Copies of this chain bind each other. A is one copy, B any other.
Amino acid sequence: MRGLKDRFLRACRKQPTDCTPVWFMRQAGRYLPEYRRLRERYSILELCKKPELAAEVTLIPLRRFQLDAAIIFADLMTPLEAMGVKFELKEGFGPIIETPIRSLSDVNKLHEPDGEEIAPETLQAIVFVKGELKGKPLIGFAGAPFTLASYLIEGKGTRDFAVTKQFMFSEPKGWHLLMEKLTNVVIKFLKSQVSAGADAIQIFDSWVGCLSPNDYREFVSPHMKRLFRETENLGVPRIHFGTGTATLLMLMKEAGGEVIGVDWRIPIDEAWQRLNFEVAIQGNLDPAVLLAHFEKVRERALDILKRIDGRNGHIFNLGHGILPQTDPDNVARLVDFIHSASRQISPKDV
């Protein structure tokens, strides 16, 4: 197992650390002027597809802030190109799918690519980033099958996920085949990211919180269980993340992952308690708090650290991606605050 001295990787394993590790979802994003400058010349997809650029974008926040991990710059949709899916990316709106998936026959048409066909640019970018990181861990990632399926079925942004659920309820055969095919792609993609050098992986089930526990159990669990079973022997910690998942946490833990990522809707100590402290936990500041003056940021960040109370196995993060209107100064101060304040709270082993 790699990186046993690393703060982030140790926390993923619930081992003691000198202080709380911290990284942010979308830490390389529109809130950074360096990123916005690159975006004037390149589309998001171009940034994802040119390994040198993707590597550069990945590294920008690491130069600015004392972050404890990098996360490879990519989009949840890019691995699906190898399945024959055509889409556009509009920043802040999610993907627009050229031909949404709405029937069993649409699902049948999706290709089943080999590992090396899936987002090869991202794998190359991982190799480039690893050469620059000087031992700091790199997180690879993929969208979870449900979240990817919801993009493919809706075809564009949604608040109610009604088209996704209608397909799920009315065409269970098509639904499960779609989930199976997506799970295959995700597993292959995660494997090749680890081969390329990823030290940990995060599975983004960003929108799964729109489901009832009954629906999660019936339509999502079997596929997530397989995903985690078949990535177990990669030897890297797996972060299982979603938003609005207060009532799904036990089911998510059952599905798998060394770390569960939660959002701000649930107090982090309550979430960890529900998970019986059996896994590590990541989270959970509301990204909108970073839009306030730093006093408010400090107050809410300290509340999280107090709830964690020095217990081993906490990775500090936001509950979702950094908002584009965030002041980078607040981000810098937050990283430093988490490191210094968590040193003051005496470690508690469990």
Contacts and interface: CB of A to CB of B under 8 A. Distances in A.
Interface stretch (A47-55, A75-83, A106-114, A157-165): A157-165
A196 interface: no
Given A166-B288, A169-B289, A286-B165, A212 B264 contact: yes
Contacts of A267: 212-214, 247
Contacts of A132: none
Nearest to A289: B169
A88 interface: no
Given A160-B323, A212-B264, A265-B209, A292 B166 contact: yes
A63 interface: no
A333 B23 CA distance: 51
A246 interface: yes
A296 interface: yes
A215 B267 CA distance: 11
A244 interface: yes
B244 A291 contact: no
Contacts of A166: 288, 291-292, 325
A270 interface: yes
Contacts of A170: 291-293, 296
A75 to B, nearest CB: 18
A329 to B, nearest CB: 15
Contacts of A165: 286, 288-289, 291
A303 interface: yes
A265 B323 CA distance: 25
10 contacts: A159-B159, A165-B286, A165-B291, A166-B325, A169-B289, A169-B291, A169-B292, A169-B293, A211-B265, A244-B265
